[in-house]
Structure 1
Amino acid sequence: MLKAVSLLSDIQERAVSNEDATCEETEEIGEDVEMVGEDEGSQEEPILQLDSVSHGHVLRSVRCAAHTLQLAVDDSLKQASNIIAKARRVAKRLRSQNVVCVLKRMGHKRAIVDCATRWHSTHDMLQRLLELKTFCEDMAPTIPDLHLSESEWEYVSNTVDALKPAKIATKCLQSDQLTAGEFYGVWLKCSLDTEKLASPFARKVAQCIKARQSTLFDNDAFIAAVFLDPRYRLFLTECQTEKEKIHLYRTWEAIQNLEPRNAASGSDVCAAASPTQSQTSSDDEIEHLLMEKERDTSSTQRRPHVSIVSLLDTYSKEARLRRTEDLFQYWARYSVSNPDLYKLAMSVIPLPVTQVSVERAFSSLKFILSPLRSSLNEKVLEDILLVRLNKQYGL
């Protein structure tokens, strides 16, 4: 996906640059274009362009926040690979049949063996191993595979403590409705809680988190969504704020460019539905004048693009919203008093910051489309999946 988006971005950037160059060449040759005959001009092939490119907009990708956090933790775990390998060897020995019988007789829980590609299971394995530390130390003279030095036990304990904030953050990132501002708060809390720990491994985890966060925060779409969240807006620097105002201004231009088309399509539908009425309206000079006045009035009543900049300036000076307040209820108050700013916010804030919803859909699909039910048609399968994924709405 990342490679596909990168290739599309390069293609669109070249198309935008070629379009600008073509416009400049057209202005230079000016009168020469008029000298071209109809036959000669008809031989030119039409150029197919994406609609977004024609307005100067280029496709950009937003990294999955949950996956980025997993990559940061994986980077840090590479520094502890030797200790984790020794801990895994001890856990496997504790899972042997004779040791399991002894653990069960003494009332201890069974050891956990992790999956190397899932660091959550590694955290659970190390945490369970700490619970069995006394048992391992008592049985080490009899079973040498259960021996770990005191420094190794301390490292295991520091690893568990350092990974705990990241594990809590991962659980929070799995929520159904997660905005960019809420994610920013979760990421910031994870980073602060990890930095509070004094162990060398915790410092390494914090460094990896900061190194990976640039792929998330250096994105105009993400920063714009945080800017329009009054709960976390103050974390942005002045430079970021001014940059995002420009980005939001361009976003508003893109929204405005779509509106005339919708109006034109609606008028075409009305004309097709009642051709007699459109014909009589065009013949009536008074009706024609009234239609022109109506268009002039609607264009003057429409808020100009510059007003969005002033509205964003006014919004940036408002008081901070408490973290416990609902973001969408806050913006619902603007739907009547300031519909333009509300429309812009509702176009930017719903930015998806994780792919958890997609994974949840795939997980549900796995239980529905089993080998025993492979004859389900597309419509029935889609209806069942819709009901399964929207139980909270009472469907």
Structure 2
Amino acid sequence: MDACTRQRTNYFGINVQFVDDNDKICINTIAVKDTKAQHGSDFLKTLIIDVLREYDIKFQQILSIVTDNASNMKTTIDKLNLDESLQNHRSNDDNVDDEEIVIDLETEETEYIALASQLKINHMRCAAHTLQLAIRDGLKEVHATQLIGKIRNIVVILRNPKIDGLLKRKAGKGAIIDQSTRWALCLWIQIMELETLLRQPHIVTVQLQSADLTPGVFLKEWKNLIFNLSKIEGPIAEGIRSSMIRRESLLLDNDILLAAIYIDPMYRILLSEEQMIRGRKSFYTVGLRMFNNNLEDNKVAGLCESQTITETKQNQTIIEILENTNDFEQFLDDEENKRSEPHLKSDLSDNDVALFKQNFENALTLVERFNRYSKLTVKEAIPKYPKIVQNSAWAVTALPPTQVSVERLFSALKIIKSDLRASLKDDILEAILYLRTNVQ
């Protein structure tokens, strides 16, 4: 999610990233809304809920939301987690009396508490945006500030029409950055050193904008940049590196992100022992959530099928009774069939959770046998993982470490809503962007 302004109109864009039935990670645009110059968390929360209901997206289907570091975005996600209308995801048929559920809070096998807490939406800070903030922190160093100030002063002078015209008449072209008459040798060397220093962060920034960026690759690029900056002497490099290390803890304060890196055989090694434990636990929580969602979906389908069968049997019974009022044996057979139909559970029981946990833990032992020596990317490794963890692995791998897809959406918005189309209506603009970004 992100916001932008175009033609003095404020827009809020929402993209979704998910895995389709063919295990392919997809990115779709679902909203480009005019916020009417409102940026408060309450308004944004209401807008997001309306969009989710429009597309019938359930709260428990959302693992994480990626935004920039703006405080209103963070507050919006916090309020979404506290919204009772979203938290109440159970159907009326699932309601049971509190006395019918016995929960031992001190028993690890009982996972009802984890099942409730996992419905929280995790907030992911945009990695590309965070990297730019770290670079900005490094450039705040006194030497860099003075150097950039000198460069800006020179640029202002060279953009003067008189000087620019003079340079074109004398040299036949505009100002060249290393022109000896305008640049002192010492200043030019410093600028070249700064350009060389910032070249690697620029390369990483471009790589973080990749559409198929996975969480494991993101962390590899992030750590690689820190490693390279540690080999460069100087206050600017040290300022960027220290800021990246400080901000890294905020980026990795997302259990879903840790789970996605945990199941990546090539880059699992980048996690600490504590992060490994958190990632493993979070991955199990995602698996348990998806297991419960499947039970609920199967229950709804089963109830519909059962109701259809029951109505058919009742209609057949009425016809037979009308034809033969003494056919009481058939009536008893129907009753026996009703009682022998399998009972559909409204939610997970302790036995279900214990069995699922045992099978999942055994599968994770096999997953951890895949490492860097396997020479498999995460997308190549997941089909080789045990079946019980594959869907969960695809789900966490779909987590986008950046919000670059929304930035691309706003780039398309800039092209479509040009100066000649400034009066384009919001619904038409949203429809055009929807077709442009979603239709292959």
**What's 1:164 paired with?**
199
- What amino acid sits opposite 1:316 in the alignment? E
Equivalent residues of 1:62, 1:219 under 8 A apart: yes
The verdict on how the C-alpha distance between 1:246 and 1:71 changes in structure 2, with shifts beyond 3 A counting, is: same
Deviations 1:95-126 (A, max 9, x none): 22343345445366646xxxxxxxxxxxxxxx
Deviations 1:273-312 (A, max 9, x none): 56522647996255346533999xxx99996222111211
Aligned partner of 2:364 among 308, 312, 322: 312
**What's 1:3 paired with?**
75
C-alpha separation in 2, matches of 1:62 and 1:91: 38
- What amino acid sits opposite 1:254 in the alignment? R
TM-score (normalizing by structure 2): 0.63
Between 190-199 and 352-361, the greater mean CA deviation after superposition: 190-199
Secondary structure, in 3 states, of the residue corresponding to 1:62?
Answer: strand
Aligned partner of 2:231 among 196, 217, 221: 196
C-alpha separation in 1, matches of 2:281 and 2:401: 22
Post-superposition offset of 1:91: 1.5
- What amino acid sits opposite 1:343 in the alignment? N
- Give yes or no for the alignment of 1:91 onto 2:141: no
C-alpha separation in 2, matches of 1:333 and 1:247: 21
- What amino acid sits opposite 2:139 in the alignment? L
Post-superposition offset of 1:163: 1.2
- Give yes or no for the alignment of 1:106 onto 2:171: yes
**What's 1:81 paired with?**
145
- Give yes or no for the alignment of 1:292 onto 2:342: yes
For these two proteins, the number of residue pairs brought into alignment is 321
The verdict on how the C-alpha distance between 1:227 and 1:278 changes in structure 2, with shifts beyond 3 A counting, is: farther
C-alpha separation in 2, matches of 1:301 and 1:3: 36
Equivalent residues of 1:66, 1:170 under 8 A apart: yes
**What's 2:378 paired with?**
327
Deviations 1:334-368 (A, max 9, x none): 4xxx3211011012111121111011112213333
Gaps of 5+ in 2: 1-72, 88-97, 103-111, 318-331
Between 54-63 and 167-176, the greater mean CA deviation after superposition: 54-63
- Give yes or no for the alignment of 1:270 onto 2:305: yes
Post-superposition offset of 1:9: 5.1
> What do you get for the CA RMSD once the two structures are aligned?
3.7
The verdict on how the C-alpha distance between 1:285 and 1:327 changes in structure 2, with shifts beyond 3 A counting, is: same
Equivalent residues of 1:158, 1:202 under 8 A apart: no
Equivalent residues of 2:115, 2:289 under 8 A apart: no
Equivalent residues of 1:158, 1:201 under 8 A apart: no
Post-superposition offset of 1:215: 0.9
Residue pairs, 1:63-74, within 5 angstroms: 63-74=125-136
Post-superposition offset of 1:170: 0.9
Post-superposition offset of 1:74: 0.9
**What's 1:357 paired with?**
405
Post-superposition offset of 1:322: 6.5
**What's 2:273 paired with?**
238
Equivalent residues of 2:259, 2:278 under 8 A apart: no
Residue pairs, 1:202-217, within 5 angstroms: 202-217=237-252
Residue pairs, 1:212-227, within 5 angstroms: 212-227=247-262
- What amino acid sits opposite 1:292 in the alignment? P
The verdict on how the C-alpha distance between 1:224 and 1:294 changes in structure 2, with shifts beyond 3 A counting, is: closer
Secondary structure, in 3 states, of the residue corresponding to 1:292?
Answer: coil
TM-score (normalizing by structure 1): 0.69
The percentage of counterpart residues that share the same residue type is 28
C-alpha separation in 2, matches of 1:246 and 1:342: 16
- Give yes or no for the alignment of 1:186 onto 2:221: yes
- What amino acid sits opposite 2:124 in the alignment? V
Higher helix proportion: 1
Post-superposition offset of 1:186: 1.7
Residue pairs, 1:339-354, within 5 angstroms: 339-354=387-402
Higher strand proportion: 2
Secondary structure, in 3 states, of the residue corresponding to 1:307?
Answer: helix
**What's 1:47 paired with?**
none
**What's 1:368 paired with?**
416
Aligned partner of 2:285 among 250, 257, 263: 250
- What amino acid sits opposite 2:205 in the alignment? T
Secondary structure, in 3 states, of the residue corresponding to 2:198?
Answer: helix
The verdict on how the C-alpha distance between 1:63 and 1:359 changes in structure 2, with shifts beyond 3 A counting, is: same
The verdict on how the C-alpha distance between 1:160 and 1:10 changes in structure 2, with shifts beyond 3 A counting, is: farther
Gaps of 5+ in 1: 16-22, 28-50, 112-128, 140-145
The verdict on how the C-alpha distance between 1:278 and 1:61 changes in structure 2, with shifts beyond 3 A counting, is: farther
C-alpha separation in 1, matches of 2:434 and 2:313: 43
Secondary structure, in 3 states, of the residue corresponding to 1:385?
Answer: helix
